[in-house]
Amino acid sequence: MRGLFPRAARAGLGAAAAVALAGCAASGPVEPTAPAAAVTAPLATSMTTAQGQAWAIVAMGGPAADEDLFWELLTRLPGSSQWKLVTPPGVADNGGLVAAGSAGPLTVAFEPSQDLVFSPLAQTSNGGRTWGTGLLNAAVAAVPDALAADPGGRLALLNDGAIDQATTSQAASGHWAQLAAPGAVAASPAGRACQAARPTAVAYTPAGTPLAAASCARPGIAGIFAREAGTWRPSGPAVPGGQPVQVLRLSQTPTGDIAVLWEGASAGASVAAAWTGDGTRWTVSPVLPLHGGGVTASGTGPGGALWVLLSGDRARALAGPGGPWRELPEPPRGTATLAVGPAGRYQALAVVGAHLVVYRLTSAGAWTRAQVIAVPIQYGSSS
């Protein structure tokens, strides 16, 4: 259902991405470093659960300025190449959606928009056929990894920089407890050592340890922190190059966590990926020079796969830890997100007004149209 609440200013979709700098655990004087310009992590994404079900989040409709831009959730069942629309009903979704649940029920948080000042939640354990409701009595941060889930609990990164935690049943009833107050990560010994600012992503390790990514001000290491023994310890990988690093993503997968790291600034910036199965030991990919471009969407797939859409109609992918970047053919016009399809072949989800066009990448390296979904967008319903 669209337009359940009266019109108000649409929540901004941008948020500062995490900046991580080298030597978070190092002692001694800290050399002043000019912080790199913050890079926004877009909300459009896709992921695959442990059961092989794929999920994708895209924005569809008309101009955001007219509040005719709506965010949609789609899913693809294991072994299928066909997508279906499963956006949770009943709440205005102009502000954006974030989702978590790589190893269990999927939980979706609505970014505040219109008159909303908090984030309603929806949860499904049957692939989106039915939805239960929940509540986070605060505004979730507008970043793709603001929500994390493991079999027993949930983490939520709030717009003010706080981190809340709840068990699965508590999240459904709206009873969240504060794990970290605004500024607490920065005030921890590890945060002070790397001059941390507010967190910009949360995740769980497979063992259930909470992780947070935060902006820092020292070069060479990703600002990722693990919650242990009542405090935050440095947990991010070292990053070659000795330049400021921003954590664009910290995403849960069925086998561990994947970070997308932005290193440097301006024309010399590059991205890399890092994988961990325990939040401590990391495998870092080769760097991918951006040649002055930016990341417009990103997501994960089975086996630690990772893809990024880049400005200039470019797409790159990694099959998993230790592999090289693969250049994908230029995506079809309007591509909002990619997804790893059956047999590891990529699919492109392109938006054309109220229609979602799904393309598949053939073994010959060509994108061919495979499906068209008409999305019932109620233009003007948010006014």
CATH number of the domain residue 78 falls in: 2.130.10.10
Query: Is residue 75 a part of any domain in this protein?
Result: yes
Lowest mean pLDDT among 146-160, 184-198, 337-351, 357-371: 184-198
pLDDT of 51 above 80:
yes
Task: Find out whether 97 and 110 touch, Cβ atoms under 8 Å.
Answer: yes
Query: Is residue 11 a part of any domain in this protein?
Result: no
Query: Is residue 381 a part of any domain in this protein?
Result: no
How many domains are contained in the chain?
A: 1
Give me the half-sphere count of Cα atoms (radius 13 Å) on the Cβ side of residue 291. Answer: 4
Confidence tier at 14 by pLDDT (50, 70, 90): very low
- Picking from 299, 334, 342, 305, the residue whose alpha carbon sits closest to that of residue 82 is 342
Amino acid sitting at position 47: M
Centre a 10 Å sphere on the Cβ of residue 136 and count the other Cβ atoms it contains.
23
Q: What percentage of the chain carries pLDDT values higher than 90?
A: 63
Query: Is residue 6 a part of any domain in this protein?
Result: no
- Evaluated on CA atoms 10, 336, 296, 248, the torsion sign reads positive
Amino acid sitting at position 196: A
Query: Is residue 5 a part of any domain in this protein?
Result: no
Across 145-169, average pLDDT = 93
Q: Which domain holds residue 122?
A: 18-374
Confidence tier at 44 by pLDDT (50, 70, 90): very high
Query: Is residue 94 a part of any domain in this protein?
Result: yes
Query: Is residue 87 a part of any domain in this protein?
Result: yes
Centre a 10 Å sphere on the Cβ of residue 368 and count the other Cβ atoms it contains.
10
Confidence tier at 32 by pLDDT (50, 70, 90): very low
Query: Is residue 7 a part of any domain in this protein?
Result: no
